[in-house]
Every structure is written in C-alpha cells, then in structure tokens.
Amino acid sequence: MPSRRHELLAYAVPRLRRSRELDDVETERRRIEAWHATLDHALPTSAVPFFTRRYAVVREELAPGFASYTVSDRRRPPTRTVVHLHGGGFVAPLDPFHVRYVARLASSLGARVVVPDYPLAPEHTWRDSHEELVALVQRHLATGEDVVLAGDSAGGGLALAVALSLRDRGGPQPSRLLLISPWVDLTTSTPETYGLDAVDPWLFVGKLDAYAAWWAGAPEDLGRPEVSPALGDLSGLPPALMFFGTRDLLSPGGRLLTRHAREAGWDLTSIEAPDLLHVYPLLPFVPEAARAWRTTKEFLA
C-alpha cells in the first residue's frame, strides 16, 4: 500500500502542475510554443538550498540553442560521470525536481552529472539532438572514465535510445543504465495504456499521442529505435536498473521493455511498484523514493 506521503503528492503534484488533458492538438501546440518563447533555459536550482554555494556548474554549448550543464559537488572531487537526460514529455525543460535529483547524484556518488538541455518538441524532433547526445556521451567515454547513462520519463527513453546508438557504433560503452519510469514505446503498441487513463492522475493519453507525434516528426519514425527504443534490438546493452509504478500510463511500456530485455538476454533489473506514481523515485520526502534511492546507490556502487 502506498505511503500517506505518496498519496498526498499523488493528489497535490498534478494540481500544482495544472495537469489536464489537452483540448485539441493545435491548441496544445500553440500553448506550448507560447510557453517555450518565455523560457530562459537557466538551471532551475530553487529546490536545492544553497545550491550555488555547494555545487559548481559548467555550461557547455553543444549546438546553437542546445546547451548542457555539468554539476559537481564542490566538497567532493568527482570520480565518475553520470549523463542524465531529463523528462517532460519532450516538451518541458529541466525543472526543480530534476535539479534536486542531479544534486543528489553528484553528492552521494561523487559524480559530475551532465544534464543536456536538449531542444524540445513541437519545434524540434529527435533528429535535432540525437547525434549531439551520442557524441556528448562518446566524449566522456573516450577519457576512460566510468560513465553511467540515466534518464527519467521521456529522458529515460532517450537514454536508452542513445545507448542503442552507442552500442551500434562500437567503442567504449556506459558501465550502467538507470531508467526511471522511461517512455520507451511512443507507438503506444500496448493497448493496456489506454485503460490506465482513468487511473493515472498526472499523464493523459491525448497528450502522449500528440507529444509522441511531434517528437517523431513523421509517422514512419515513431517505431524507430531512436524514438521507441523498446522496439529495437536490446542485445549487448550494459546492465540496467529500471523503476516504474503501476499508476502510470507508461507502465505497460515498462513491462514491454522487461519482456523484450528477457528475450534479448539483456541484464535489466526491473522494479515494478504497485500503485505508485510516474517518476516516483524523484518525489521528495516519500519513503518509496528513499527505498528506490538505496537500490540505485547499490546498483551504481
């Protein structure tokens, strides 16, 4: 049974974020494009007290309008690298939840955490960032350092897509993959997804369909491994840990990935948490998230 704190956040978070189904696709596109025009793309550090005093941040321009931030704890020299790809349905930028989790990775693991602020849909598709993300991870791998590739929600699917491309191109590979409620099948080939629309208080099927189409850019690209990595060849990937809750529209995709991983012989540890929210390991002050964090540290140790 979920904790009281989890249930409080399950009620509060969707309301604080004003989560609701879209009215229609074109109205949603105009709304998001207007919102994007107001973004300053600064790292949102408000969730971490004394962030600037405790953490060093280096900004790198990967391409025009496409930056990456590297966060490290000033009190602990980094000994490894985590490349974390943020979620948000491919339409939302980094938010304080992500920065809080990134700071925790940096402090607890003694890691430099690289957080790309990749171009967003609907103005951009996967083609506008995939090659740069692969090259970014390759640069860190080329130094011989230990590199973990991680992501949450849409960023979890993106991390897996990058891992597939890295495998296909040969060379050094990440030591581990960390996937938090990943969006890995944008074709929504799992019919159970639609049955969860009344259960998930945060995500909505209409938005998933619209955002998936925007990110793919063309219907024929929806099933590509760069877009829907659960449908690709999963053999030869690094060991991975995945979390997802069942009160989540993306949970059928998590089960699909688990089945395909087993068939491909991929070492994927899949933790399915009954009745928990989307990206529950990122939620603050929740015992279920604390348990997930302990498992994450053991896996990455």
pLDDT on residue 246: 97
Q: What is the DSSP string of 264-291?
A: HT--EEEEEEEEEETTGGGSTT-HHHHH
Q: Give the active site residues.
A: 153
- Helical axes 4-16 vs 287-300, angle rounded to 10°: 90
Strands (E), the chain: 55-63, 66-73, 80-85, 111-117, 147-152, 176-180, 240-247, 268-277
CA distance 246 to 251: 6
Which domains does the chain show, CATH number per domain?
A: 4-300 (3.40.50.1820)
Give the integer Cα–Cα distance in Å for 169 and 195.
Answer: 38
Instruction: Calculate the alpha carbon distances from 40 to 37, 89, 93, 151 in Å.
Output: 9, 19, 10, 22
pTM for this predicted structure:
0.97
Please report the pLDDT score of residue 190 as a whole number. 86
- CA–CA dist 298, 301 (Å, integer): 5
Q: Residue-wise pLDDT tens for the chain (301 aa)?
A: 899 999 998 898 888 888 999 999 999 999 999 999 999 888 999 888 999 999 999 999 998 889 999 999 999 989 999 999 999 999 999 999 899 999 999 999 999 999 999 999 999 999 999 999 999 999 999 999 999 999 999 999 999 999 999 999 999 999 999 999 999 999 988 888 988 999 999 999 999 999 999 999 999 999 999 999 999 999 999 999 999 999 999 999 999 999 999 999 999 999 999 999 999 999 988 999 999 999 999 999 8
**pLDDT of amino acid 46:** 86
Measured distance CA(203)–CA(39) in Å, rounded: 22
Report the residue count for the chain. Answer: 301
Q: What are phi and psi of 73, to 5 degrees?
A: -80, 125
Distance, in Å, from the CA atom of 277 to the CA atom of 245, rounded to the nearest integer, reads: 6
